[in-house]
Amino acid sequence: MRPPPNSSTFKREFVKKWLLALQLCNHNNNINKNDVVKRKDTIKLSAEIAMASVRNGATCWSRALMAKHSSSFHVTTKPHHMPPPPPPRHYKKRVRCKKIIKRSRRCCHNRSAAAAVVRRKTAVLRKLVPGGELMDDEASLIRETLDYVMSLRAQVDVMRRLARASDCVAMCNIV
């Protein structure tokens, strides 16, 4: 079992994998050092890949993220540099009882206002969380969101520290 996303081991592992991914992106893309947007994209991509690889298929969102990036990543990288991402799982719509669905529809119809708002927001959340469209029940979606939020926090924390450090370095350079 991978460490939970809020632990420091997660952050350390994330830093390691991020640097690995960054290295790969830098050396395989051979991007122009002055193109800021491309650099930013590379940094972001590598950070996302690192975040997903730290969770390493333990959760749906990391698998989805890997699957999403693997197509754009495999073009540029040699396949044996990064561990190949796990093959994207074949998601099929879960068959649920017709009676329940009917009843829930009826329920939605009865108090349509509140339910419609909740449904709309759930759809928005589905789009935000990677791989959320493939999860059809809300319980797993919320679980994934929990995990994703924790990982994002760790990522933001690490990046912020790095930015701060780089700022300091820049300041020192100026001084």
Partner 1 sequence: MEPQSGPGARSSPTADETALDSVQFGEDIRHLISVPTENASSFTALLELPPNQAVELLHSPESTRPDSSQQQQYQPPQHFNAGLLTFPTNAALIERAAKFSVFAAEEDLNNNNNGIASPETNSAPSNSSAGLVVKTEPAEPVAYLNSSSVASDPTVATKDENQRPNNKRKEREKKGKGSSKKSKSAANENSEQLPYVHVRARRGQATDSHSLAERARREKINARMKLLQELVPGCNKISGTALVLDEIINHVQSLQRQVEVLSMKLAAVNPRIDFNLDNMLAAESGSLMDSNFPAVMMPIMWPEVQPNGSRQQYHQQQWNFDVVPQPAGGGWGREDGHNFITPENSLLSYVSSANSASLNSSQLKMEL
Query: How far is C-alpha 27 from the chain's CA centre?
Result: 23
Helix, strand, coil percent content, the chain, rounded in steps of 5 = 75, 0, 25
Give yes or no for residue 169 binding partner 1 (CB under 8 A): yes
List 1, 30, 80, 95, residue binding partner 1 (CB under 8 A): 80
Q: Which amino acid is at 137?
A: D
Cα 141 from chain centre:
14
Segment (H or E) for 20: helix 8-29
Among 112, 121, 133, 136, binds partner 1 (CB under 8 A): 121
Stretch that binds partner 1, among 52-60, 64-72, 84-92, 167-175 (CB under 8 A): 167-175
- Identity at 82, one-letter amino acid code: M
- Does 72 participate in binding partner 1 (rule CB under 8 A)? no
Q: Which is nearer to partner 1, 90 or 139 (CB)?
A: 139
Burial of 122 (0-12, 13-18, 19+ CB in 10 A): middle
- Residue 19 near partner 1 by CB under 8 A: yes
Q: How far apart are the first and last CA of the chain?
A: 47
State the residues that interact with partner 1 by CB under 8 A: 6-8, 11-12, 15-16, 19-20, 22-23, 26-27, 33, 36-37, 39-40, 42-44, 47-48, 80-81, 97, 99-100, 103-104, 114, 117-118, 121-122, 124-125, 128-129, 137-139, 142-143, 145-146, 148-150, 152-153, 155-157, 159-170, 172-173
